[in-house]
Amino acid sequence: MKSSTPLIEFKNIYLSFSKKNVIQNLSLIINKGDKVVVSGKSGSGKSSLLSLVLGFIQPDSGQIVFDGTLVNEKTVWDLRKQVSYINQDVSLGDGIVKELLDFISTLKKDNYSDITVAELMEIFDLDNDLIQKNVKELSGGERQRLAIVIAIMLNRFVFFLDEVTSSLDKHLKNKVADFFLSKPDWTCVIVSHDPVWLENPIVKVFDFEEGKWKQ
Amino acid sequence: METVDIPILSLLIAFILLVIPVVISLKYGLKIVKPLFVSIIRMSIQLALIGVFLKYLFIWNNPFVNIGWLTVMIVVAVFASIKSSSIKITKIFLPAFLSFFVSTFTVVLYINVFVIPLENIFDARYLIVLGGMLLGNSLRGNIVGISTFYDSLRTDSKHYLYVLSLGVSRKQALLPYIQKSVQLALKPTLASMATMGIVTLPGMMTGVILGGASPDLAIKYQILIMIAIVVSTIVSVVLTILLTERVCIDKYGVLRTDVFRIGKK
């Protein structure tokens, strides 16, 4: 069983923005294969947990360990190659979808994949002719699903999903949640207050404001 | 052929032309009379002083003084180009200075050594005049280049972080922003080069012709100076971005917010 092997460890983290404390003495372990939902009010700074691991922000004090390695300015570059991240705003930039997908395929860990892009697009109800469009022309929901396709395409085992279902209807939300939660090898850290994640029996819910696991 | 001298009194007659913008300003309430006269007076005094200074600089023609003066010109150009951006001057002055210094001196000395070629490669007439011309263009290019690079990184920060999160290298993540900045910075130079001789008769050519040289010689110098301008502008813009990003972007690849001036967008 992989589930008892720690993947991400937050050790005594303190974080503040403009003198406002966002995180105070947080210690948290996420094991390999865990499906963790980070819950809390909007604006409470729960997305900062993901940004801390990815090195986008630095804690005032404390350490973050990823797969046994301390996260710092040298190790973070390798860490990013192991994580698939979807940010809240789905900032896929500007350009034709096909060019974006071609670029992403150059970043894949290996070319082997048991599922093709076309199959993924079908699973998430994306039209095939969408690949000729500009990313900017896509609706919020389409962009969100395209970001999900990209995250899966990368063939990685760690997923940071920040409000990835916010623009989707109930049917698609269920599809996305079922897809991610059904993979035992995948570690998913999901920032959301959507019941589709929170009410699923296999997820562990971490209450960001309280700084502890919900029973 | 000698250039016709303009007596001081005649030059004053040229100032009479300024009545026209004054009348237009008063008629349309443009409120530009004061700034117009401040600028005219500043320009006249600065040029009169620099005229005297250059006269002695050309007489002395001391390599160290010439290099020193071109360095002072570089310092002023660097200040001007950073000041128009949203970055704090103290943060990037040194890397920007290095970029201007290398690009200007390399191109001017290449011309002085291999193209003209001069006996005294630090001759004031060439070092300072050519250097000044290159600096003016590098300045314009860098104003566009620095601002475009940092402003687009800032406004596009979410996408930039997303690209970083994909696991690309620092260089790969920054490349689109470097490309955009350099292309925009070079646009005016390339456009003016493409229409040169038809739409514009450039300042250097006009100066050389007025100075008594033949149009043939003026054209040869103009072609030379345009090549030098393109090369020094592109080198200085690329170098400024590459050297300043080491300061403005941290080792995690993230743009530092403390390099920006407060309230400057």
ipTM of the complex: 0.93
Cβ-proximal residues to B87 (8 Å cutoff; 6+ apart), any chain: B146, B150, B244, B248, B259, B260, B261
- Mean pLDDT throughout B170-193? 94
Per residue in B18-44, pLDDT tens? 999 999 999 999 999 999 999 999 999
Say whether pLDDT at A185 is over 90: yes
Q: Under a CB-based contact definition with an 8 Å cutoff, are residues A15 and A52 in contact?
A: yes
Cβ-proximal residues to B62 (8 Å cutoff; 6+ apart), any chain: none
- Mean pLDDT throughout A150-178? 93
- Mean pLDDT throughout A2-25? 88
A73:B251 CB<8 A = yes
pLDDT at position B27 is 94
pLDDT at position B121 is 94
- Mean pLDDT throughout B53-66? 92
Provide the pLDDT confidence category of residue B207 given band limits of 50, 70 and 90: confident
Per residue in A88-102, pLDDT tens? 888 888 899 999 999
Cα gap A167→B126, rounded to integer Å: 64
A107 to chain B: which residues are within 8 Å by CB? 166-168
DSSP A86-113: E-TT----SSBHHHHHHHHHTT-S-S--
Q: What is the dihedral of CA B20, B24, B29, B31, to 10 degrees?
A: -30
Residue of B nearest to A52 (CA): B252
Place of tokens 């192991």: A82
Q: How many beta-carbon pairs below 8 A join chains A and B?
A: 55
B177 to chain A: which residues are within 8 Å by CB? none
Say whether pLDDT at B210 is over 80: no
A56:B162 CB<8 A = no
B161:A80 CB<8 A = no
pLDDT at position B229 is 94
Helix (H) or strand (E) holding A207: strand A204-207
Residues of B at the A interface (Cβ-Cβ below 8 Å)?
A: 156, 158-159, 161-170, 250-254
B167:A56 CB<8 A = no
pLDDT at position A1 is 44
Cβ-proximal residues to B31 (8 Å cutoff; 6+ apart), any chain: B25
- Which among A110, A92, A109 is positioned nearest to A101, based on CA atoms? A92
Say whether pLDDT at A34 is over 60: yes
Cβ-proximal residues to B89 (8 Å cutoff; 6+ apart), any chain: B79, B82, B83
Q: Which of A36-40, B36-40, B112-116, B207-211 has the lowest mean pLDDT?
A: B207-211
B166:A92 CB<8 A = no
pLDDT at position A110 is 67
pLDDT at position B6 is 84
A80:B166 CB<8 A = yes
N- to C-terminal Cα distance for chain A? 23
CA distance to A23, A59, A71, B183, B212, per residue, from A48 (Å): 9, 10, 15, 35, 69
Chosen for mutation from A56, A143, A162 (greatest number of chain B CBs closer than 10 Å) is A56
Query: Which residue of A73, A92, A160 is in closest CB contact with B252?
Result: A73
Cα gap B125→B55, rounded to integer Å: 10
Say whether pLDDT at B152 is over 70: yes
Chosen for mutation from B252, B255, B257, B258 (greatest number of chain A CBs closer than 10 Å) is B252
Say whether pLDDT at B265 is over 60: no
Mean pLDDT of chain B: 91
Nearest Cα of chain B lies from the Cα of A118 at a distance, in angstroms, of 21
Mean pLDDT of chain A: 91
What is the set of domains in chain A, with CATH numbers? 6-207 (3.40.50.300)
A81 to chain B: which residues are within 8 Å by CB? 167
pLDDT more than 70, % of chain A: 95
DSSP 8-class letter at A205: E
pLDDT more than 90, % of chain A: 74
Residue of B nearest to A55 (CA): B252
Residue B64 burial (10 A CB sphere; 0-12, 13-18, 19+): exposed
B169 to chain A: which residues are within 8 Å by CB? 77
pLDDT at position A84 is 95
Say whether pLDDT at A109 is over 90: no
Q: Under a CB-based contact definition with an 8 Å cutoff, are residues B132 and B107 in contact?
A: no
A55:B252 CB<8 A = yes
A93:B163 CB<8 A = yes
pLDDT more than 90, % of chain B: 72
- Mean pLDDT throughout B154-180? 95
A92 to chain B: which residues are within 8 Å by CB? 159, 162
Residues of A at the B interface (Cβ-Cβ below 8 Å)?
A: 54-58, 73-74, 76-77, 80-83, 85, 87, 89, 91-93, 104, 107, 154, 160
Cα gap B106→B233, rounded to integer Å: 12
Nearest Cα of chain A lies from the Cα of B255 at a distance, in angstroms, of 9
Nearest Cα of chain A lies from the Cα of B90 at a distance, in angstroms, of 23
pLDDT more than 70, % of chain B: 97
Provide the pLDDT confidence category of residue A2 given band limits of 50, 70 and 90: very low
Query: Which residue of A58, A80, A91 is in closest CB contact with B158?
Result: A91
B162:A73 CB<8 A = no
Say whether pLDDT at B48 is over 80: yes
pLDDT at position B263 is 66
A93 to chain B: which residues are within 8 Å by CB? 156, 159, 162-163
Helix (H) or strand (E) holding B60: helix B33-60
Give the domain ranges of chain B. 1-60, 62-259
pLDDT at position B192 is 85
A54 to chain B: which residues are within 8 Å by CB? 161, 164-165
DSSP 8-class letter at B86: S
> Could you tell me the two tokens for B96?
């920007």
Say whether pLDDT at A87 is over 90: no
